[in-house]
């Protein structure tokens, strides 16, 4: 089995993995339409719930319309005298006043129902968090050390301040069950909280009928970092809570902003991650609309984008007992990426003195920073799963950090990282190339076998196995190294687009190593945009050219060796087809990855030339193989169990075929 065939097999496996990834993460048209309808329903519902003024106006308008209609009926009734008409009209109910409506909708919290809302802030050297007294919630987070791409300008390289949680339709609200209230309770997002700032602490309280009965939200920011201490408390409210109520539903909805250069990829990498107690972290499907039901105590929930996240960490024993998670994909022309909704059910035991201790993380997906929180939040970074994730997290990342400690250029780090990886893989590469040369040496003998056993495939295979054993050649020697190196390639495939360290770092013509590099933006063209994009990636183009050069250099010898193979022509075309396929697939991928692939392939060409032209002497290797054959004949070794069984099976099949042929001749 030659090196070209190994290359084809390797690329075939990579292509199948990529196609599987795309297929699994691509939403169907039905899912897209259903998501749009559900999103519209949620937006309508949210807008209605968030606007007390709208509720009041609608109620008053309905009451006025009803009174006006009744008045017209009275005036049109000819059987009534004018005095009777005036008396009946005077008895008609007037439109409800706002205060009575507030009392009906908010019960003991009617006094906290109406306000314009005022802004309050907490900040340190990393973040500035803005709150609104209406709801006592976060309405904007500015990350001071980061910039996002401005998708409202013509230049795709323009940047602006990076903000999270600043969409007007976002929600962060608790539903407090109350007896004798119209909707069965109140949403904290509809309440007006009184704010009290004390240094780095901001306390919001919404009072009921006296200052001993209130809902409190307390935020505390550190001198540095992205973490807030957050407590939600109920005080003195037990007499208002129905006896049957055993939970406080919590609703958190985030409409994610477009932050990165490539919104399509950022959308696929954005989702809800979560961790249940005594379970490993998990997440909703990234590439399509998804729903998850939580049935255990919830330790944390994270609304995560490609490089930033907003996470709610629940400490203490009062953890939510269940919940539901939903993600909705927004179309490309939307101003936002996704709508993420988390619903949790916090346990309700004693509303006279109930506190939920939590923390809120608002910042970058930095592996070390998230690891320091010590709840497994670093697993939201999509480094991959199983052995691939292990290699990304515990091999490639530490190696990168070591290089970054003294090399300022991230592009240069990629080249050095590539050189180190190719160096580590060189023994496998050498073994693969040596196996390829050995197979070429045996080609004359194998060709003779094909002539001798052209009508006996079983006999042909048995004789081939004997020759391989005599000369110490493994037919899988060219494939196995390629398979063994694939986990490293897949780990790198996930490492570059997920590593915030490469974000907005430039190298050569690439202005952002976590997004595509572009030397020409030709704009939106129907059909072409769907499978190629609106630009030309130079790293991808150069990689494709280098692959053709490698296949031309290395494949010519292999095609000569496989000249008598009926599948040789197909193999030749297949090996050239894969670079073309990846030319389209990788055009919008991270420049860091395509940069690595380009230099890795250039180093591979150099290694191949070095091995075949310098390190391996074909004549000397042929002599060594012949000597090995003679030594094996002089001192035959006992066959291994599987070899003996394999040959025995092949011999039995050959005998069966011969018997079948004899029986046919007799007939």
Domain end point (choices 382, 412, 435): 382
In a domain, 201, yes or no: yes
Mode of pairing for the β-strands spanning 227-235 and 247-257: unpaired
pLDDT at 67 over 50: yes
Nearest Cα to Cα of residue 493 among 381, 594, 395: 594
Domain end point (choices 350, 382, 414): 382
In a domain, 61, yes or no: no
Buried b (16+ CB within 10 A) or exposed e, 467-506: ebbbbebeeebbbbbbeebbbbbbbbbbbbbbbbbbbbbe
Measured CA distances, 335 to 31, 142, 258 (Å):
20, 19, 7
- Give the pLDDT confidence of 94-142 residue by residue, as tens digits: 544 445 666 677 888 988 887 888 999 999 999 999 999 999 999 999 9
Q: How far apart are CA 214 and CA 205, in angstroms?
A: 6
Nearest Cα to Cα of residue 377 among 325, 324, 315, 327: 315
CATH number at residue 299: 2.70.98.90
Q: How far apart are CA 271 and CA 294, in angstroms?
A: 16
Highest mean pLDDT among 2-11, 41-50, 373-382: 373-382
Q: What is the mean pLDDT of residues 18-42?
A: 50
If asked whether residues 353 and 403 sit together in one domain, one would say no
3-state class of 334 per DSSP?
A: coil
In a domain, 239, yes or no: yes
pLDDT attached to residue 64: 52
Query: Which residue did the predictor score with more confidence, 277 or 79?
Result: 277
- Give the pLDDT confidence of 487-534 residue by residue, as tens digits: 888 888 889 889 999 999 999 999 999 999 988 888 878 888 878 888
pLDDT attached to residue 445: 77
pLDDT attached to residue 487: 84
The chain-wide mean pLDDT, for the chain, equals: 81
Q: How far apart are CA 376 and CA 371, in angstroms?
A: 7
- Give the pLDDT confidence of 202-236 residue by residue, as tens digits: 999 999 989 899 999 999 999 999 999 999 999 99
pLDDT attached to residue 40: 52
pLDDT attached to residue 2: 46
If asked whether residues 229 and 315 sit together in one domain, one would say yes
Per the CB < 8 A criterion, the answer to whether 122 and 225 are in contact is no
Could you give the maximum distance between any two Cα atoms of the chain, in Å?
A: 133
Q: How many whole angstroms from its chain centre is CA 450?
A: 51
Segments forming the whole domain that contains residue 231: 115-382
pLDDT attached to residue 651: 63
Q: What is the mean pLDDT of residues 28-42?
A: 49
If asked whether residues 529 and 570 sit together in one domain, one would say yes
If asked whether residues 10 and 120 sit together in one domain, one would say no
Taking the CA atoms of 405, 493, 146 and 357 in sequence, report the sign of the dihedral they define.
negative
Percent of the chain with pLDDT over 70: 77
Buried b (16+ CB within 10 A) or exposed e, 61-79: eebeeeeeeeeeebeeeee
pLDDT at 434 over 70: yes
- Expressed in angstroms, the distance from the first to the final Cα of the chain is 40
3-state class of 230 per DSSP?
A: strand
Q: What is the mean pLDDT of residues 287-306?
A: 92
pLDDT at 479 over 60: yes
pLDDT attached to residue 618: 79
If asked whether residues 8 and 129 sit together in one domain, one would say no
Query: Which residue did the predictor score with more confidence, 604 or 32?
Result: 604
Q: What is the mean pLDDT of residues 594-615?
A: 88
Q: How many domains, in total, are found in the chain?
A: 2
pLDDT attached to residue 163: 96
If asked whether residues 288 and 343 sit together in one domain, one would say yes
In a domain, 44, yes or no: no
In a domain, 368, yes or no: yes
Per the CB < 8 A criterion, the answer to whether 477 and 431 are in contact is yes
pLDDT attached to residue 303: 97
Highest mean pLDDT among 58-72, 145-159, 394-408, 518-532: 394-408
In a domain, 511, yes or no: yes
If asked whether residues 478 and 515 sit together in one domain, one would say yes
Q: What is the mean pLDDT of residues 351-358?
A: 92
pLDDT band at 338 (very low <50, low <70, confident <90, very high): very high
In a domain, 348, yes or no: yes
Which residue stretches of 92-211 are H helix?
A: 98-106
Query: Which residue did the predictor score with more confidence, 195 or 89?
Result: 195
Measured CA distances, 567 to 22, 90, 448, 533, 571 (Å):
30, 98, 18, 35, 6
Angle between helices 538-561 and 568-585 (to 10 degrees): 170
pLDDT attached to residue 534: 86
pLDDT attached to residue 45: 43
Q: Where is average pLDDT lowest: 285-289, 478-482, 628-632?
A: 478-482
Domain end point (choices 382, 414, 431): 382
Query: Which residue did the predictor score with more confidence, 195 or 666?
Result: 195
Query: Which residue did the predictor score with more confidence, 91 or 9?
Result: 91
If asked whether residues 284 and 413 sit together in one domain, one would say no
In a domain, 90, yes or no: no
365: its two tokens: 């997906």
pLDDT band at 381 (very low <50, low <70, confident <90, very high): very high
For residue 190, give every residue at least 6 positions away whose Cβ sits within 8 Å of its Cβ, in sequence order, or none: 49, 50, 52, 106, 113, 134, 135, 173
275: its two tokens: 């961790």
pLDDT attached to residue 41: 43
If asked whether residues 198 and 343 sit together in one domain, one would say yes
If asked whether residues 477 and 624 sit together in one domain, one would say yes
If asked whether residues 347 and 409 sit together in one domain, one would say no
If asked whether residues 622 and 545 sit together in one domain, one would say yes
- Give the number of other CB atoms < 10 A from CB of residue 630: 11
pLDDT band at 273 (very low <50, low <70, confident <90, very high): very high
Query: Which residue did the predictor score with more confidence, 75 or 196?
Result: 196
pLDDT band at 385 (very low <50, low <70, confident <90, very high): confident
pLDDT attached to residue 322: 94
pLDDT at 365 over 90: yes
């Amino acid at each position: 089995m030659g090196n070209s065939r190994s290359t084809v097999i390797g690329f075939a496996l990579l292509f199948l993995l990529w196609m599987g990834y795309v297929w699994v993460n691509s939403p169907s048209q039905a899912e897209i339409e259903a998501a749009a309808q559900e999103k519209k329903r949620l937006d309508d519902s949210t807008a209605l719930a968030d606007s007390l003024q709208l509720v009041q106006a609608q109620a008053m308008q309905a009451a006025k319309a009803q009174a006006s209609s009744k008045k017209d009926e009275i005036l049109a009734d000819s059987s009534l005298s004018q005095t009777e008409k005036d008396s009946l009209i005077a008895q008609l109910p007037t439109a409800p006043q706002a205060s009575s409506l507030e009392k009906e909708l908010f019960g003991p919290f009617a006094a906290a129902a109406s306000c314009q809302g005022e802004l309050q802030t907490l900040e340190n050297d990393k973040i500035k968090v803005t709150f609104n007294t209406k709801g006592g919630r976060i309405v904007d987070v500015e990350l001071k050390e980061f910039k996002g791409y401005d998708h409202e300008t013509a230049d795709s390289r323009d940047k602006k301040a990076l903000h999270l949680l600043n969409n007007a339709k976002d929600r962060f609200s608790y539903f407090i069950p109350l007896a004798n209230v119209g909707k069965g309770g109140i949403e904290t997002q509809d309440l007006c909280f009184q704010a009290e700032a004390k240094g780095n602490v901001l306390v919001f309280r919404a009072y009921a009928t006296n200052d001993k009965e209130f809902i409190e939200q307390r935020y505390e920011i550190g001198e540095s970092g992205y973490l807030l201490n957050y407590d939600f408390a109920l005080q003195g409210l037990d007499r208002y809570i129905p006896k049957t109520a055993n939970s406080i539903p919590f609703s958190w909805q985030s409409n994610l902003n477009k932050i990165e250069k490539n919104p399509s990829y950022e959308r696929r990498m954005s989702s809800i991650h979560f961790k249940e107690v005594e379970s490993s972290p998990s997440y909703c499907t990234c590439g399509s609309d998804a729903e998850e039901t939580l049935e255990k105590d919830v330790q944390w929930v994270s609304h995560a984008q490609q490089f930033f996240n907003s996470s709610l960490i629940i400490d203490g024993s009062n953890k939510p007992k269940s919940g539901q998670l939903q993600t909705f994909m927004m179309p490309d022309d939307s101003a936002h990426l996704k709508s993420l909704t988390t619903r949790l059910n916090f346990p309700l035991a004693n509303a006279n003195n109930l506190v939920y201790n939590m923390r809120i993380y608002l910042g970058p997906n930095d592996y070390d920073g998230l690891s320091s929180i010590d709840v497994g939040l670093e697993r939201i970074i999509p480094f991959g799963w199983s052995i691939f994730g292990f290699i990304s997290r515990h091999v490639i990342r530490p190696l990168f950090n070591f290089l970054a400690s003294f090399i300022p250029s991230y592009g240069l780090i990629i080249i050095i990282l590539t050189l180190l990886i190719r160096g580590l893989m060189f023994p496998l590469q050498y073994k693969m190339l040596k196996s390829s040369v050995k197979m070429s040496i045996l080609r004359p003998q194998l060709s003779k076998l094909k002539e001798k056993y052209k009508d006996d495939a079983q006999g042909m295979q048995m004789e081939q196995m004997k020759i391989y054993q005599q000369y110490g050649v493994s037919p899988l020697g060219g494939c196995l190294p390629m398979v063994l190196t694939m986990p490293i390639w897949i780990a790198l495939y996930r490492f570059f687009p997920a590593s915030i360290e490469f974000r907005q770092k430039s190298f050569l013509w690439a202005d952002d190593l976590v997004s595509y590099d572009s030397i020409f933006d030709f704009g939106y063209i129907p059909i072409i945009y769907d499978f190629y994009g609106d630009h030309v990636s130079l790293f991808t183009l150069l990689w494709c050219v280098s692959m053709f050069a490698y296949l031309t250099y290395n494949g010519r010898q292999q095609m000569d060796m496989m000249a008598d193979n009926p599948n040789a022509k197909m193999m030749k075309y297949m090996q050239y087809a894969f670079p073309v396929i990846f030319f389209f697939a990788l055009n919008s991928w991270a420049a860091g990855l395509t940069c690595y692939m380009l230099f890795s392939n250039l180093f591979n060409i150099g290694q191949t030339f070095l091995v075949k032209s310098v390190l391996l002497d074909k004549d000397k290797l042929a002599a060594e193989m012949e000597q090995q054959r003679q030594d094996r004949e002089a001192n035959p070794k006992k066959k291994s169990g599987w070899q003996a069984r394999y040959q025995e099976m092949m011999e039995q099949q050959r005998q069966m075929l011969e018997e079948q042929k004899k029986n046919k001749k007799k007939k």
